[in-house]
Amino acid sequence: MADWTPYFVIAMAFCSIAGVTFAAGQYYLRELKLRRRLPVPQGAAKDFVAGGNIAGLVSRHFDEKRFGIDVTLRGKLRINLVRSGYFRNDAVNFYVFWRLAAVVLLPILAYVLLELAFSRTQFASRLVIIAIAIAIGVVGPDAFIWRRQRALSAEYRIIFPDFLDLLVVCVDAGLTLEGAVNRIAGEVADRHSRVFGINLAIMTSEMRAGRSFIEALGALADRLMIPEARSLVALLRQSTELGSDVAEALRVFGDEMRDKRLLRAEERANKLSVKMLLPLGLFIMPVVLMVILLPVVIRLLNAFK
């Protein structure tokens, strides 16, 4: 009879860690929402951070200067994190924390699983598995950030024609481009994408700080990393220099972006039939063949008895 004790221990350990992580995450999110909604005095905020806040702990003990991250590398990390949708001031500290946690915890978790579930595994195989876990811990955070940037870029390309439509409506109503962006930033954050709305809010803050509209829009295009935003910068710069109608240029550009979005949707729909071949061949066709041929096989076996 098989001994199920190691599997039971693994299941209980996983459930315990998942429960503790879920409870801690819910507590942290609840406290964060309260801090956003309620005005907290400066002294109380310091006491809250000193009392064991996770963000304060990470900011104090995982400073990038302690790990040899210079100003240039910190700037690159900061740009990548902003492009990934992480706008916190301590985002670099959290990046350092999660990278170290992944490098340390993944090999430990792999070793524990090998000891509990696969205790008869050879030493060389264990070394290979632990080395793979270390490699995943090293590459994993950067791969996650790169994947999130791609996902946000795809989301921005879907939202961008709607942003142009709102911009055209505001300009037709008599607002300037600066006022139009300031007006629709909250609307975009509430109804379309919170991250895109935060990028627009950063753009309006840069304009209040003294940047021109074209420069702030160029910085927005660098953060969004989509060709539509760069084309909009060139269009508005050309319209401003030539003195043409900005509203009409935005309207034509918005129609073009909407047509491109429709073409991308049709392209993805046409690729769907090809992508369905692999799951059909691996999962659905064997089941269908089994349902069809199993009665025939049973009858043949009964006939030859």
**Three-class SS of residue 38?**
coil
Q: Is it the case that residue 44 has pLDDT exceeding 60? A: no
pLDDT of residue 3: 55
Are 186 and 252 in contact by the 8 Å Cβ rule? The answer is no
* CA–CA gap between residue 56 and residue 62 (Å, rounded): 10
Is pLDDT above 70 for 230? yes
DSSP state of 176: -
Which has more confidence, 164 or 73?
Answer: 164
pLDDT of residue 147: 92
How confident is the model at residue 269, as a pLDDT?
86
Q: State yes or no: pLDDT of 50 exceeds 60.
A: no
pLDDT tens-digit series, residues 67-121 = 667 777 888 888 888 888 888 887 888 888 888 888 888 888 888 888 887 777 7
Rg of the chain in Å (alpha carbons): 27
| Contact by Cβ (8 Å): 99, 136 | no
State residue 43's pLDDT score: 42
**Residue 166 near residue 190, CB atoms below 8 Å:** no
Tell me how far apart the alpha carbons of residues 92 and 74 are, in angstroms, rounded to a whole number: 7
pLDDT bin (cut points 50, 70, 90) of residue 291 is confident
Compute the Cα dihedral for 72, 55, 139, 80 and give only its sign: negative
Mean pLDDT of the region 176-204: 87
